[in-house]
């Protein structure tokens, strides 16, 4: 079968490989599921891996098959799989509990304290940019056929669901927390999915991006589900507070780390800031009003939390939000799927769009590996 791979730590090494079709018995205990890949999304992490900034090959391999934003159809199941059958649509989670930490042992590998982690398509495990994969049924989430068209968005959404769940858990420190307003920093595909998830929870949501509002599809998408959009070129996060009030919750997903200090100054009392950008660079920033930030955090019982990856429960939360969003704003999620590239052999096109997403006005670029 065909697959798209890179040589980790070698720049622009993305290429096509020919591999053996995986077999059910690679998974022990009769829990194997063979999945035909239908769609695979491409994101900034894939771009970073191809730019040699990130990514580790599996043991014994020189290459790493890319792809973690997946969607597929079950072809065959082993004898101990009762919850899935041939023809079911599934999305697989990304991280596996192969570390030594206590969190890996209790199935919370998304909270591992190990320095190494096992993530399909990213670190130490081959990914889903392939025609087929096998996986243990424990890591597969069943997808209702009515959301098949947009289910390739579930994996990025799962990251947000985990962030929101963490915020909710942390805010249990307050006997009553009735958040009303939220700011989402960044309106790329992760930002838009965050805005959607917060709108599904009834928040008044304010999205912020770099680009001017006029003619910007992402801004139109914000407004189509009742959120606002402002360009930070015209309105900084700190100044936006005069317009919208302080935020009960801020979700940061711009990839631009200096903005977190602006966000820290724009939180309401008891508010929470969620950080979700993986910023691999070396950027430093000065002129941070540290006394002010520190004092506000202390006097206002404010909180800030980092979040990475997602577990099964977060994927399941995501399925519900996708379904609810389809019910409330039919067709909105499909508008995010701006660039479909058919066939794994056209990987160069996918990476060309990924590298120049501004030029292409791309929100989500994905491979159609097989027809739904």
Residues in contact with ligand BGC by the rule CB under 6 A: 43, 45, 68, 94-95, 119, 122, 155, 159, 278, 308-309
Nearest approach in angstroms of CB 194 to ligand BGC is: 13
Sheet holding 204-209, edge to edge: 228-231, 204-209, 181-185, 247-252, 267-275, 303-306
Nearest approach in angstroms of CB 247 to ligand BGC is: 25
Distance CA 48, CA 279 (A): 10
Beta strands (DSSP E) in the chain are: 2-6, 15-18, 32-42, 64-65, 69-77, 89-92, 95-96, 118-120, 124-125, 132-136, 140-143, 181-185, 204-209, 228-231, 247-252, 267-275, 303-306, 339-342, 365-368
Nearest approach in angstroms of CB 119 to ligand BGC is: 5
First to last CA, the chain: 19
- Which two structure tokens, joined as six digits, stand for 179? 């958040």
Measured from the CB atom, the residue of 78 and 311 that comes closer to ligand BGC is: 311
Q: Is residue 180 within 8 Å of 203, Cβ to Cβ?
A: yes
Measured from the CB atom, the residue of 271 and 318 that comes closer to ligand BGC is: 318
Measured from the CB atom, the residue of 39 and 95 that comes closer to ligand BGC is: 95
Nearest approach in angstroms of CB 355 to ligand BGC is: 16
Nearest Cα residue to 274 out of 282, 286, 264, 288: 264
Nearest approach in angstroms of CB 228 to ligand BGC is: 27
Measured from the CB atom, the residue of 194 and 309 that comes closer to ligand BGC is: 309
Measured from the CB atom, the residue of 119 and 296 that comes closer to ligand BGC is: 119
Instruction: Tell me how far the alpha carbon of residue 174 is from its chain's centroid.
Output: 28
Measured from the CB atom, the residue of 119 and 246 that comes closer to ligand BGC is: 119
Q: Is residue 262 within 8 Å of 288, Cβ to Cβ?
A: no
Determine which helix (DSSP H) or strand (DSSP E) holds 121, and give its type and residue range: none
Nearest approach in angstroms of CB 207 to ligand BGC is: 20
Report helix, strand or coil for 325.
helix
Nearest approach in angstroms of CB 322 to ligand BGC is: 16
Measured from the CB atom, the residue of 240 and 311 that comes closer to ligand BGC is: 311
Measured from the CB atom, the residue of 266 and 309 that comes closer to ligand BGC is: 309
Nearest approach in angstroms of CB 110 to ligand BGC is: 7
- Which two structure tokens, joined as six digits, stand for 91? 């999305």
Nearest Cα residue to 134 out of 60, 75, 57, 82: 75
């Amino acid at each position: 079968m065909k697959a798209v791979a890179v040589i980790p730590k070698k720049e622009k090494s993305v290429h096509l490989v020919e591999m053996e079709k995986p077999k059910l018995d690679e998974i022990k205990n009769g829990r194997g599921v063979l999945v035909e890949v239908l769609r695979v999304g491409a994101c900034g992490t894939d771009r970073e891996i191809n730019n040699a900034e990130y990514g580790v090959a599996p043991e014994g391999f020189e290459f790493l098959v890319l792809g973690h934003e997946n969607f597929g159809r079950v072809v065959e199941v082993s004898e101990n799989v009762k919850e899935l059958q041939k023809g079911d649509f599934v999305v697989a989670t990304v991280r596996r509990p192969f570390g030594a930490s206590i969190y890996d042992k209790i199935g919370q590998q998304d909270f591992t304290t190990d320095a190494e982690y096992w993530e399909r398509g990213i670190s130490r495990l081959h990914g889903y940019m392939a025609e087929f994969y096998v996986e243990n049924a424990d890591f597969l989430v069943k997808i209702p056929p009515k959301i098949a068209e947009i289910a390739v968005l579930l994996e990025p959404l799962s990251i947000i669901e985990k962030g929101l769940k963490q915020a909710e858990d942390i805010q249990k420190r307050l006997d009553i927390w009735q958040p009303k307003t939220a700011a989402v920093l960044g309106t790329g595909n992760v930002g838009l999915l965050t805005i959607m998830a917060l709108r599904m929870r009834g928040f008044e949501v304010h999205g912020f991006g770099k680009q001017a509002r006029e003619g910007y599809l992402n801004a139109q998408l914000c407004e189509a589900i009742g959120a606002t959009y402002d360009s930070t070129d015209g309105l900084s996060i700190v100044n936006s507070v005069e317009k919208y009030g302080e935020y009960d919750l801020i979700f940061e997903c711009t990839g631009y780390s200096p903005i977190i200090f602006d966000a820290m100054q724009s939180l309401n009392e008891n508010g929470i800031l969620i950080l979700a950008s993986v910023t691999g660079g070396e950027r430093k920033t000065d002129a941070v009003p540290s006394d002010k930030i520190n004092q506000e955090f202390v006097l206002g019982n404010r909180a800030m939390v980092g979040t990475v990856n997602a577990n099964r429960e977060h994927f399941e939360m995501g399925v519900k939000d996708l379904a609810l969003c389809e019910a409330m704003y039919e067709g909105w999620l499909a508008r995010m799927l701006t660039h479909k590239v058919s066939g794994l052999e056209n990987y160069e096109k996918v990476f060309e769009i990924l590298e120049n997403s501004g030029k292409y006005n791309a929100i989500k670029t994905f491979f159609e590996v097989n027809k739904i």
